[in-house]
Structure 1
Amino acid sequence: MKKTRYYPFERNRYFYGKLLTVRDFESEQKYFNDKRRLMNRLLHGTGVITGLQVIAVDDKSVSVEMGAAIDALGREIIIPSPVTLKLSMMQGFSNNEYAKNVYLCLAYDEKGKEPVHSVANAAVRSDEISEYNRMLESYKLFIREEAPDPSVFPIESIIEQTSVLYQDGHIRILQRTPRYVNPGQLFDVTFVIEKTLQAAKISFEFELVGQQLQAEHDAKVTFNEPQERQETEYEVTVKLRADSSSRGKATVGIRQDHAVLRIGDKQVSLSSARANEVMIMAGAVDKQWVDDFVNRSLEDSLDSPSDPCIYLARISLLQMGPTYMIEKVDQVPFNEYVYNASALHKLKSKDSSAPATPFSGSITARSSLRKIAGNQEPELNVTFNKDKGELNFDLGLPEVQSGDQVRTGVVEIPIASLNKFAASPFGRGGKSYVSAEIEHGLGRGSLFIYTGIEEINEDYISDILSSSERLYSGSTDVFKGSEHEPSGPDVKIGTVLYPQKGTFRIGVRLQQPTEATQINIRWWAFKKATESGAGSDDTVDISSLEAASGREEQA
């Protein structure tokens, strides 16, 4: 059934002596199917109900677990048993390019079952099969290589607006803003970068421009993709504040003549960039969301693509010579889920054991952090929005010089032989192993790095004696023959520092063969304030607090 409209309903009427034909029986099925599917669409929505997890079983194949879903036309889709598929054999997978992200889609499909011969068919041969005795309500899995347009998810558009700033075959940059904000409210403008794993490194510098909106700090948005990481999605968030004296429509976008977007060594233009609209209103934002949802027309509520599908997974591919391999699988990348009423009640209900508050309902706490001059006192401003039940904490911290800074961490260095055809699986004595680059988090410049070997024994006796965790430094020979002798291999440890990059590596050299497969090295990085100098990066780092600002907590 390809219709997107199921009304008005018309049911069969029976009476004695009525001649029943194929049309009558088909209309009987259509009446009940259309009503059920209409209720599915309006009451439950679209997406995965349960199961349907996608798992990479090898470099070129995925398995879809059994489960159930509802598509945009209200049709139930059931996968009764796990199915394994090779990507290159699936519909929609092109063979001309492998360095890309592809989307595994699930759609409703009907198939004929139990072929029979129809006595009313005027076939030439009497044994010719002309009809099917049953119709199997089945499914089809296929590949789409283009990311969906944000407009295909209408429920999301009630809460936020998403526009595409840039898109090509490997990269897409989105701008997201809330639909509604209150006067004076601090809110997020989010830039989402979606890319393939083998696309060139991305960097951009945008200047925000808006009406009735003000940037909390700098109106410039910058992003530089890390050189040592490979991800398929990044997010950059900038905080804006709505004008406290304004009401009505506001706009936010980027100034195209000042926008700089570089993909690798090439600079590209943003000719299609447009501004998002943000409505500044005095009432409760969540109430406005509900009003927009319930006041939709029936036409809008039943609007759907002619060939709807559910995006089960985003699969990131790496090109390996003339072929490909699956690097990463992201489950339901556009959050297409269907929650039943019982689950929503339990997930949203208040904790009955929580202490009573003088406010009715729930209270949402929002926090923001800003930097102020080093000669100013810390500032804390707290406001309460009674209509929204919202507490806003605005904290200003001065930038001050800090004392000595310390960072620590553990790096796991594999020492098992990478040659699967080797005669011995043990790590060879005299062989060196080096970790990947480690960010110490103390910025650029020289610093001191101290290392030690970390051992964790999970036996019962060590746990009782509180000696299950041990940290060895210096020469471990002094403990040989005693109860404190380390169980790990005898190694030498060295470090190499990259002052301009703010990173370092740790290397170990085995002194004898060992059965161990890895060595855990605990490291400490020390940086003295006197070594930083004026104008350096050695200031109190409140970036972690800034990252945590804007969190919402229910009281």
Structure 2
Amino acid sequence: MKKSRLYPFERNRYFYGKLLTVRDFESEQKYFNDKRRLLNRLLYGSGVLSGMQVVAVDDKTISVEMGVAIDYIGRELVIPSPVTLKLSMIEGFTNNEYKKNVYLCVAYDEKGKEPVHSVGNSAIRSDEVSEYNRVLESYRLFIVEEAPAPSSFEFVRLLENVATIYEDVGVRITQRMPKYVNPGEVVEIKLVVEKTLQTPRIAFQYEYDAVGFTTVGHDGQNVSFAEPGDAQETEYTVSFHVKAPLEAGSLATLTVPNSAAKLTIGDAVIPLDSNAKHVIEVLEEPVAERILKDWHERSLEEAVEGSADQSICLAKISLLQLGPTYMIEKVDRVPYNEYIESTSLLQRLAQTSRASSLHKFYASAETEDLEYGAKPSLDVQYHPERNEFDFKLGIPRPQHLYDEIATGTMEVLLESIGKTGGFFFSRGKKNYVSDEINHGLGEGQVSVVVGLEEVERSVAGDLNAVQKRVYYGQSDVFKGTEFEPDIPNVSLGTVVYPEKGTFRIGMKLQGEMESTASVIAVRWWAFKTLGTAPQQGEVDNEQLEDVLGEAAASEE
């Protein structure tokens, strides 16, 4: 293979008496090399097989570990031992600007080895001529100061639709989404912001136009990114989701209009020159089948020559300017995931995946309160890397019932009659009617519930050890039990004045009192009905009991 061009394979034919020349031996080597490299390229692809880690030794020096890779025309790259180099000594590094990212790449190289005297050439030339006796397959490390375009990678072209929104020397903003979708599929779109460390803070927001796609999420068609103030990253990713059309065979588009976008770098507002646009095909068949079809139907020329001159990027190195010089701040290894995985490893991973997570997905959920009267909301986010759905459910808060409830106590003094030792509301009377009580809920129909309140304290008189009981209805039903109250047996009634917002409490003593209490405490609850007011005297008992239970708990 020469300059990545595929020639028909041709091998030597040997016979007795054949005169072997340099051409014959070169053809022998070329036959096996070209065939092996073609199979490497088509079977394994290109990338790092093992090793080749790049680490920063100090502020200006890097080390590349030993390793093996295959380049984009199938040639094996071997770094046989670790190599340590100053960044300024590597081919392609310039010293005129340090506020940048640089990319360390490796490429195949050959070097002559073992120079020997050439007998044949010396016969026709008077001076001594040397030729190399061996060819050493080697490598070449060099620096590239511009990031490769995402679409220059073969698998990105197969799997993704990439649109460049903005690009200059220090910043590149791209948007990436799947190349194909199935009907109704929730699609993840990634906004990728790449920058140098010393580029000022970036903020970017826009409203996209979608034809065919349906917005998923509570942000609508608005997407925004703001770089954190304390961040020291050179790449950020913001994800959002859309839902594909329900009909197969159509094309769906998603556009970022420059008129609806605002890019700020530092304090400067940067205008966008063009509209970034995705055109996505909606498929009937599974997406994986279509991608395999594209892979199988590519021509041999596309497979072999498509990326012939592309080297392998081993690291993205972020530099910081320090006065007239620089320092290495960060090293990202193999930033474009140019790896080759072992087929046996992939097989075992596939078996593990089938055994553990086939047809399974995971879900997490959370709820949030919305204002009373708002419509319920549901926001769904899908994370394909972990096959997980995040559900966020917004539930309107119920109407605040505590604003429609009032409570209070009323105390009635008892008077003693020395002759009988009994206790009555007043001398010779067993009935009592209170003055008008303002319940505080305003005009309108209310329901009033009253009960007798008893307060128990500890024997030691500890004021903190207080237990309240409120008895509704006839308290004598507890007589003879451990719950028998030390309060009179009193019947209670109420009269409500809806136009005034007031009510009265009436009490009647049932029989002679055996209680030693000198004061009767009456606890009252006023409940204002919501919605359609019930008819006078009509009470929703279940709702009333629930509300009173909550209110009693909060009161304690």
Match of residue 549 from structure 1: none
Match of residue 20 from structure 2: 20
Match of residue 282 from structure 1: 284
1:252 and 2:248 correspond: no
> Where do 1:224-239 residues align within 5 Å?
224-239=226-241
Task: State the SS of the aligned residue for 1:230.
Answer: coil
Partner AA of 1:318 in structure 2: L
1:39 and 2:39 correspond: yes
1:313 and 2:315 correspond: yes
Q: What is the alpha-carbon distance in structure 2 between the residues aligned to residue 277 and residue 43 of structure 1?
A: 31
1:381-411 CA deviation, whole Å, 9 max, x = no partner? 9xxxxxxxx9996845016689xxxxxxxxx
Of 301, 325, 337, the match for 2:303: 301
Match of residue 135 from structure 2: 135
Q: What is the alpha-carbon distance in structure 2 between the residues aligned to residue 298 and residue 366 of structure 1?
A: 41
Contact 2:49/2:340 (8 A) holds in 1: yes
Q: What is the alpha-carbon distance in structure 2 between the residues aligned to residue 224 and residue 58 of structure 1?
A: 32
Q: What is the alpha-carbon distance in structure 2 between the residues aligned to residue 78 and residue 379 of structure 1?
A: 54
Task: State the SS of the aligned residue for 2:208.
Answer: strand
Task: State the SS of the aligned residue for 1:349.
Answer: helix
Match of residue 224 from structure 2: 222
Distance 1:270 1:194, change over 3 A: same
Match of residue 419 from structure 1: none
Q: What is the alpha-carbon distance in structure 2 between the residues aligned to residue 60 and residue 380 of structure 1?
A: 48
Contact 2:376/2:396 (8 A) holds in 1: no
Higher Cα Rg: structure 1 or 2? 2
1:398 and 2:398 correspond: no
> Where do 1:196-211 residues align within 5 Å?
196-211=196-211
**1:274: how far off?**
2.6
Q: What is the alpha-carbon distance in structure 2 between the residues aligned to residue 272 and residue 110 of structure 1?
A: 44
Contact 1:40/1:74 (8 A) holds in 2: yes
Q: What is the alpha-carbon distance in structure 1 between the residues aligned to residue 184 and residue 315 of structure 2?
A: 39
Task: State the SS of the aligned residue for 2:294.
Answer: helix
Distance 1:214 1:372, change over 3 A: farther
Partner AA of 1:398 in structure 2: G
> TM-score of the superposition, structure 2-length normalised?
0.65
Match of residue 155 from structure 1: 155
Task: State the SS of the aligned residue for 2:305.
Answer: coil
Partner AA of 2:130 in structure 1: S
Partner AA of 2:359 in structure 1: I
Contact 1:203/1:223 (8 A) holds in 2: yes
Q: What is the alpha-carbon distance in structure 2 between the residues aligned to residue 123 and residue 204 of structure 1?
A: 73
Contact 2:104/2:141 (8 A) holds in 1: yes
Match of residue 240 from structure 1: 242
Contact 2:208/2:260 (8 A) holds in 1: no
1:324 and 2:320 correspond: no
Match of residue 58 from structure 2: 58
Distance 1:323 1:23, change over 3 A: same
Distance 1:237 1:350, change over 3 A: same
Match of residue 365 from structure 1: 361
Match of residue 178 from structure 1: 178
> Where do 1:517-532 residues align within 5 Å?
none
Q: What is the alpha-carbon distance in structure 2 between the residues aligned to residue 229 and residue 98 of structure 1?
A: 19
**1:47: how far off?**
0.2
Q: What is the alpha-carbon distance in structure 1 between the residues aligned to residue 331 and residue 390 of structure 2?
A: 39
Contact 1:212/1:246 (8 A) holds in 2: no
Q: What is the alpha-carbon distance in structure 2 between the residues aligned to residue 334 and residue 391 of structure 1?
A: 23
Partner AA of 2:222 in structure 1: K
Q: Which runs of 5+ in 2 are unaligned?
A: 381-385, 399-556
Q: What is the alpha-carbon distance in structure 2 between the residues aligned to residue 353 and residue 109 of structure 1?
A: 44
**1:347: how far off?**
1.9
Task: State the SS of the aligned residue for 2:7.
Answer: coil
Match of residue 73 from structure 2: 73
RMSD, aligned CA: 2.9
**1:129: how far off?**
4.3
1:19-42 CA deviation, whole Å, 9 max, x = no partner? 111111101100000000000000
Q: What is the alpha-carbon distance in structure 1 between the residues aligned to residue 388 and residue 327 of structure 2?
A: 48
Task: State the SS of the aligned residue for 1:302.
Answer: helix
Partner AA of 1:138 in structure 2: S
Q: What is the alpha-carbon distance in structure 2 between the residues aligned to residue 305 and residue 377 of structure 1?
A: 52
Distance 1:55 1:219, change over 3 A: same
Match of residue 110 from structure 1: 110
Q: What is the alpha-carbon distance in structure 2 between the residues aligned to residue 391 and residue 337 of structure 1?
A: 23
Percent identity of equivalent pairs: 52
Q: What is the alpha-carbon distance in structure 2 between the residues aligned to residue 269 and residue 276 of structure 1?
A: 20
Match of residue 82 from structure 1: 82
**1:352: how far off?**
8.2
Q: What is the alpha-carbon distance in structure 2 between the residues aligned to residue 23 and residue 104 of structure 1?
A: 37
Q: What is the alpha-carbon distance in structure 2 between the residues aligned to residue 25 and residue 137 of structure 1?
A: 17
Of 263, 269, 275, the match for 1:261: 263
Contact 2:45/2:70 (8 A) holds in 1: yes
> Where do 1:436-475 residues align within 5 Å?
none
Match of residue 534 from structure 1: none
**1:159: how far off?**
1.3
Task: State the SS of the aligned residue for 2:32.
Answer: helix
Contact 1:181/1:187 (8 A) holds in 2: yes
Match of residue 98 from structure 1: 98
Q: What is the alpha-carbon distance in structure 2 between the residues aligned to residue 40 and residue 221 of structure 1?
A: 43
Q: What is the alpha-carbon distance in structure 1 between the residues aligned to residue 113 and residue 78 of structure 2?
A: 17
Q: What is the alpha-carbon distance in structure 1 between the residues aligned to residue 91 and residue 379 of structure 2?
A: 58
Distance 1:313 1:34, change over 3 A: same
Q: What is the alpha-carbon distance in structure 2 between the residues aligned to residue 210 and residue 135 of structure 1?
A: 58
Q: What is the alpha-carbon distance in structure 2 between the residues aligned to residue 180 and residue 23 of structure 1?
A: 50
**1:379: how far off?**
6.2
